[in-house]
């Protein structure tokens, strides 16, 4: 496994990140398709065996049980200094006032809760899960800076928002000398390329790492368009991400199948290789609920698509509304 730097930092991460939303108690939260702890641990162990050292979770995944499962597995299977643990805060993780958002109180509380669930003294990459329009960004940014200075987080990252919001946060932090964001998790795949218009060029210009989430479009790029899955049928959030451009999406899915069959490789490898080859991409975030998902992810990183294959994959795309900011 070759490792890459996280943006302009010296932190080395694997070129594919294991997304851990898949791992959590199924009856906690709204992810009924998740794997419980006994089912999850083999995937976390296999990821480590394949050389993946970076694991992305969130305090809101399965009511925090994802952090608990990931934390226990990594303590059992790896040395703390050899792994990179990323988690997120913003979405509500407990009932009542101050149980979500990016106020100073919520950030401090959520970080302490995440550290306890993960069973670690520090978070390698603490990310804001979304932009909080109800809290002054100065309050959020100073609180995040103080978390870093307290030694509870090493680096800061962000996830889906408008580019103007992210730019405002970057430059406000810079103005005050506060810790800046080093990474952006954005929604990016062959079915959703709107981030190419502003967010990706901005991050490339600023040297900010791009860690795309849902690079396989919730599995839609790995199977025929009319073929569903258990997760697709019960994934409430996922159902809001795609739709309204069905003819174009069908053509893109068919193009993935065409390229994959000509190459003699699984469709997942082709779709993921396309994301990994895009300018500025540091490491796609990939979920795994079947053993071959991890094998495909690691193999895809080394798969180089030709210019003709890329043209085939991109030819059917049409502009669409952004999705995933909520």
Of residues 63, 31, 33, 15, the one with CA closest to residue 289: 33
Please tell me the number of Cα atoms within 13 Å of 227 on its side-chain side. Answer: 8
Query: Which two tokens mark 321?
Result: 């509304």
Q: What DSSP designation does 192 have?
A: B
Q: Per residue in 158-171, is it b (16+ CB within 10 Å) or e — as a string? A: bbbbebebbeebbe
Strand partners, 155: 125
Query: Which two tokens mark 128?
Result: 């804001």
Q: Which residues are catalytic?
A: 61
What residue has token string 């998790």?
Answer: 185
- CA 255 – CA 189 distance, rounded (Å): 14
Task: Give 263-300 as a DSSP string.
Answer: HTS-HHHHHHHHHHHSTTB---EE--SSHHHHHHHHHH
């Amino acid at each position: 496994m070759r490792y890459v730097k996280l943006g302009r930092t010296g932190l080395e991460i694997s070129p594919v990140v294991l997304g851990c939303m898949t791992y959590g108690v199924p009856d906690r939260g709204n992810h009924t398709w998740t794997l419980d702890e006994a089912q999850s641990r083999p995937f976390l162990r296999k990821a480590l065996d394949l050389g993946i050292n970076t694991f992305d979770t969130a305090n809101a995944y399965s009511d925090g049980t994802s952090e608990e499962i990931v934390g226990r597995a990594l303590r059992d299977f790896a040395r703390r200094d050899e792994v990179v643990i990323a988690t997120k805060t913003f979405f509500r993780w407990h009932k009542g006032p101050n149980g979500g958002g990016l106020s100073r109180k919520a950030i401090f509380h959520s970080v302490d809760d995440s550290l306890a669930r993960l069973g670690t003294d520090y978070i390698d990459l603490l990310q804001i899960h979304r932009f909080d329009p109800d809290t002054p960004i100065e309050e959020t940014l100073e609180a995040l800076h103080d978390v870093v200075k307290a030694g509870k987080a090493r680096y800061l990252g962000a996830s889906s928002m408008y580019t103007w919001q992210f730019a405002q946060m970057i430059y406000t932090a810079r103005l005050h000398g506060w810790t800046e964001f080093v990474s952006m998790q954005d929604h990016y795949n062959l079915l959703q390329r709107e981030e190419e218009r502003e967010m990706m060029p901005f991050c490339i210009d600023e040297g900010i790492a791009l860690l795309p989430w849902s690079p396989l479009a919730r599995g839609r790029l790995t199977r025929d368009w009319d073929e569903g899955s258990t997760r697709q049928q019960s994934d409430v959030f996922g159902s809001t991400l795609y739709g309204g451009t069905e003819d174009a999406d069908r053509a893109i899915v068919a193009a993935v199948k065409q390229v994959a069959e000509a190459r003699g490789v699984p469709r997942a490898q082709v779709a993921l290789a396309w994301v990994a080859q895009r300018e500025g991409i540091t490491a796609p975030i990939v979920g795994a609920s079947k053993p071959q998902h991890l094998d495909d992810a690691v193999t895809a990183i080394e798969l180089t698509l030709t210019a003709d294959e890329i043209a085939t994959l991109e030819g059917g795309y049409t502009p669409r509304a952004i999705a995933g900011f909520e």
